[in-house]
């Protein structure tokens, strides 16, 4: 039996200086080739979950395994195989890096930090930018790009390394309708071509990829349900109705 691509066992993670865990007692198995959506309100722990899987945060309890490796011990090795798009990337307007420089940064985990990118590496970066229709922005200062363009640069950075796992935190939030459709198309095509394992954090399930296998619903740092897309929409609808009723009683 093939081991899961991602597995969290009784995981709790706390930010430095905080007393309460941001995620608590998380148990989650994601098989290779799955597309899993993580949904829930602000503060539910969705971003913390991705940062924990990526080894950017160390759990105070439990274990995280990615591609069969213990992330707490082999985090740097694991991150070579992960394409990660953080939430709300925003570059300083005076940042000196060109857009293609930022995309090339996605390759440094495999190249080594002080290795000069080769012609082939530049071709990989341009290929990723072409997929997302931003190759014409390659020489532009990244800080001068719009929010949506910067977000697509970060997605290109994640896919240029040809990862085995994609972790996407609100990847459609700054995109207009046409750009959102293009980004979804690219992710779906790469997922099928590479048999990626893809985890997407979103508060808006209407943006769900067609290939979605499962929705993980979070609230207050915990997973409270795992469901199909239709079941998840129904559960969220019930939760919103219940919340509205409670608020109405409180106001009355």
Q: What is the pTM of this model?
A: 0.88
Kindly report, residue by residue over 95-136, the tens digit of the pLDDT.
778 999 999 988 876 655 566 788 899 999 999 999 999 999
**Weakest mean pLDDT among 61-75, 120-134, 231-245:** 231-245
Could you give the percent of the chain with pLDDT greater than 90? 60
Is 70 exceeded by the pLDDT of residue 175? yes
> Residue 159: is its pLDDT beyond 50?
yes
User: What span, in angstroms and rounded, lies between the C-alpha atoms of 120 and 108?
Assistant: 13
User: What is the per-residue DSSP string for 127-168?
Assistant: HHHHHTT-GGGTTSBGGGS-HHHHHHHHHHHHHHT--SEEEE
For residues 71-92, give the mean pLDDT.
Answer: 86
Mean pLDDT of 208-236: 86
More confident residue, 237 or 83: 83
CA distance 91 to 145: 9
CB atoms within 10 A of CB 216: 22
pLDDT band of 215, cuts 50, 70, 90: very high
Q: Which residue has the higher pLDDT, 19 or 235?
A: 19
Q: Is 70 helix (H, G, I), strand (E, B) or coil?
A: strand
Tokens of 3: 């081991």
Say which CATH topology domain 1-81+164-252 has: Rossmann fold (3.40.50)
Give the start-to-end residue ranges of the domains of the chain. Answer: 1-81+164-252, 90-162
Residues 11-40: tens digit of each pLDDT? 999 998 888 999 999 999 999 999 999 998
On whether the CB atoms of residues 226 and 39 are closer than 8 A, the answer is: no
């Amino acid at each position: 039996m093939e081991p899961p691509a991602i597995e969290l066992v009784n995981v709790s993670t706390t930010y430095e200086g905080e007393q309460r865990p941001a995620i608590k007692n998380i148990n989650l198995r994601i098989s290779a080739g799955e597309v899993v959506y993580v949904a829930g309100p602000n503060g539910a722990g969705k971003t913390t979950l991705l940062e924990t899987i990526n080894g950017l945060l160390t759990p105070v309890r439990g274990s995280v395994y990615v591609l069969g490796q213990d992330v707490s011990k082999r985090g740097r090795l694991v991150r070579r195989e992960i394409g990660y798009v953080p939430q709300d990337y925003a570059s300083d307007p005076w940042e000196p890096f060109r857009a293609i420089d930022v995309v090339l940064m996605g390759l440094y985990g495999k190249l080594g930090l002080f290795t000069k990118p080769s012609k082939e590496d530049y071709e990989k970066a341009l290929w990723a930018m072409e997929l997302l229709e931003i190759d014409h922005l390659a020489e532009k200062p990244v800080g001068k790009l719009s929010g949506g363009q910067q977000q697509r640069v970060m997605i290109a950075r994640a896919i240029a390394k040809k990862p085995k796992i994609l972790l996407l935190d609100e990847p459609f939030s700054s995109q207009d309708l046409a750009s959102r459709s293009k980004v979804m198309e690219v992710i779906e095509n790469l997922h099928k071509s590479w048999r990626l394992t893809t985890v997407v954090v979103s508060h808006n399930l209407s943006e769900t990829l067609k290939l979605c296998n499962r929705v993980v619903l979070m609230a207050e740092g915990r997973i409270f349900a795992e469901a199909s897309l239709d079941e998840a929409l129904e559960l969220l609808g019930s939760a919103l109705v219940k919340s509205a009723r409670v608020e109405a009683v409180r106001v009355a």
